[in-house]
Amino acid sequence: MFRHYTLYIIIYGICLTLLACDHIAEDERLIYEKPEPAQRVVLLEDFTGQRCVNCPKATEVIEQLQETYGDNIVAVGIHGGPLAFAGNAKVVGLKTDIGDAYYKHWNLEYQPVGLVNRHAPADYPEWAAAVKEELAKPAPLLLSGKAVLADDVITIDISAEGNDGTVVGKLQVWVLEDGIQTLQLMPDGKPNQQYTHNHVFRTAVNGAWGEDFSIEEAKSEQRSMTQTLEPNWNREHLSIVAFVYNDSGVQQVAKINVEQQP
């Protein structure tokens, strides 16, 4: 008798639970809310060279775009190709092997030329329109990070948050340097030995083409990596650029200042 009574109580309790769940108001149930669209940041890869007389004109366009869009545009000066200068005993050169590899990979034929979010190569008078078009598109993820320099090693932490669908591609991390004063041929053909080169590509931290990366909507991902300081880099003027790209182009970009650890 006791067993039957206990069983009745258990069944009655289950029925009450199911009945209660059945009567939860529609507006009280958990409803998935899609994340807010992320503000897109645009990557402009400026293929440049110290022996390129028109490259300072392209730099002026970049400066105008930075004044207009601020942190929503990230420019990178990639010194590679026939007009890049490797340097000699007297003059500092900014050419890199990876810069050369990028120039060849995109089948570029002249300088200056740029890639806006890794779409078709464009001449510098076309950059403003291309940047404006890209900025109008929502980004499928957010990127942020932190970079700390201590004992000649930069520790880089990258965070990503998915905002729209699943993104599959590559995560690329670069080191840039500002304020490098060295040779540049000017539009009049004359050399300027004290020309200031900014956002200069120095190296790729995680390989020339980055590492596999994917993120789902409403999920987060973290990556950490390190980069040893090169002797010719000015530790006071370094920054990190991280971006996610795939066959559809660059999906999002973040520029991170390198902090000096006391």
Given this model, what pLDDT does residue 24 score?
A: 57
Question: Any idea what the CATH number is for the domain that residue 64 is in?
Answer: 2.60.40.10
Strands 211-215 and 167-177, by their bridges, are antiparallel
Q: Is residue 62 classed as helix, strand or coil in its secondary structure?
A: helix
In a domain, 88, yes or no: yes
- CA 135 to chain CA centroid, Å, is 14
Given this model, what pLDDT does residue 16 score?
A: 44
Contact residues for 262 (Cβ-Cβ < 8 A; gap 6+): none
User: Number of folded domains in the chain?
Assistant: 1
Does the structure show a pLDDT above 90 at 166?
yes
Given this model, what pLDDT does residue 35 score?
A: 78
Give the residue, 168 or 4, on which the prediction is more confident.
168
In a domain, 20, yes or no: no
Give the residue, 34 or 130, on which the prediction is more confident.
130
Q: What is the pTM of this model?
A: 0.87
In a domain, 21, yes or no: no
pLDDT in tens, 32-80: 777 777 899 999 999 999 999 999 999 999 999 999 999 999 999 999 9
CB neighbour burial string for 62-76, b if at least 16 within 10 angstroms, e if fewer: beebbeebeebbbbb
In a domain, 194, yes or no: yes
In a domain, 24, yes or no: no
Range of the domain at 177: 42-260
